[in-house]
Amino acid sequence: MRFSVIASAAVAAIVGFGGTLALIIAAAQVLGATQAETASWVTAICLAIAGTSAWLSIRYKMPIIAAWSTPGLALIGASAGFTFAEAIGAFIVTAIALIATGLLRPLSVLVARIPAAVASGMLAGVLLNFVIAAAKTAGLDPLFVLPLVALFFVVRLFNPSLAVIIVLVVGVAFALLSGRAPELPMPEISTLTWVWPQFSTGALIGLALPLYLVTMASQNLPGFAVLRASGYEPPTSAALTVTGLFSLLSAPFGASTTNLAAISAALCTNPDAHPDPDKRWLTGPVYALIYVLFAVFGASLVAIFAILPPTLIALVAGLALMGPFINAMALALKVESERLAATVTFAVTASGIAFLGVGSAFWALVAGLVVAGLEQFKSSRKL
């Protein structure tokens, strides 16, 4: 064990947790979750991340790091019209789908055949609303928002990964000192709240299916790529199965999907963590321990977010999603022959339409695949 291992794991955990915690709060508000249910969500998902990271890293002696799905949380936050109980049902189905993907190779092959442009177009359409909401906060409270935006872009010049966290910390202090938020609540230990799931067709098709696809395309596949780029050969089937199992166990307590990390994993797999690649797996247990601490104090963190002005939450969420939005748009428009399908998918998703009780993400996926199929048929006719 070296200090660099502890430092790398701590930075990865803090960046992953603090940079996107606002997305859980925003998603919980859309679903109508109570403060206790939101605290349970944070606690349960932190425990699932800790368990997954510790087990996979120790078992396979690789720095296999888990995280929550940032794009998935954005998708949940953009999926209005579902109750919290219906969302829990969707989380359970998503977890079962992840387990099945790990156990059944044909299913993983089928997911891999979905055009990257269509999946990225759907993701970009989901993230667009959060980026726009962040921009709108400047008109609601410019004296509060604009200095924080300026701080974000200045910090990004020196350390992009910490920019959102610094804006969050400074924003909380600014809100307290300016009277935009009351005094900080007393610390409290977290508890878990059981939520009985409800399984509705609309939630399964409009939330579970898009959440599964976004998690696979935007989290798990890049997570495997990060490990391979660092010289590791990750246990694909076992990783998907374990993340699915922990997601299944934590879902009834409010937790959304647990998956492989990508950005956080990059901090734990590079030589700065440990010069010996065979020793970098030690970052996994340290990372897991930090997430256990986050779980213990999850209720206090949710209570703090509850007193913050909505403009700060919307701003932090939007800033945290700017990078994923840019990446999604770049991937969606990368291949010229797939741009029409990607644009249609993006437009349908961003429209927020609902039909037959099913949200826009599903219909965007259907529309994108149909257009992609037609474009393929057109190309084959020319040949």
Quick one: CA dihedral 24, 50, 322, 6, positive or negative? positive
Amino acid letter, 218 = S
User: What length does the chain have?
Assistant: 383
Tell me the angle at which helices 310-320 and 116-140 cross, rounded to the nearest 10 degrees: 150
Residue 341 is encoded by which pair of tokens?
Answer: 């399908």
Beta strands in the chain (DSSP E): 66-68, 258-260
pTM, two decimals, is 0.79
The 10 Å Cβ neighbour count of residue 363 is: 20
CB 130 within 8 A of CB 321: yes
Q: b/e string for 32-55 if b means 16 or more Cβ within 10 A?
A: ebeeebbbbbbbbbbbbbbbbbbb
Tens digit of pLDDT per residue, the chain (383 long)?
A: 678 788 788 878 877 787 778 889 889 999 999 989 999 999 999 999 999 999 999 999 999 999 988 888 888 888 878 899 999 999 999 999 999 998 887 777 776 677 878 878 887 887 788 889 889 999 989 999 999 999 999 988 987 767 888 888 899 899 989 888 887 778 788 889 999 999 998 889 889 988 998 888 778 877 887 788 778 888 888 999 999 999 999 999 999 999 988 767 777 887 877 888 888 899 999 999 999 999 998 888 888 877 888 898 888 878 877 877 887 888 888 888 888 998 998 998 888 777 766 667 778 888 888 998 888 877 777 65
The Cα 283–Cα 274 span in angstroms is: 9
The 10 Å Cβ neighbour count of residue 18 is: 19
CA triplet 60, 66, 67: central angle to 5 degrees? Answer: 175
Among 248, 229, 267, which residue's Cα sits nearest to residue 52?
248
Is 68 in a helix, a strand, or coil?
strand
The Cα 133–Cα 126 span in angstroms is: 12
Percentages (nearest 5) of helix, strand, coil residues in the chain? 75, 0, 20
CB 133 within 8 A of CB 317: yes
CA triplet 7, 71, 64: central angle to 5 degrees? Answer: 40
Is 32 in a helix, a strand, or coil?
coil
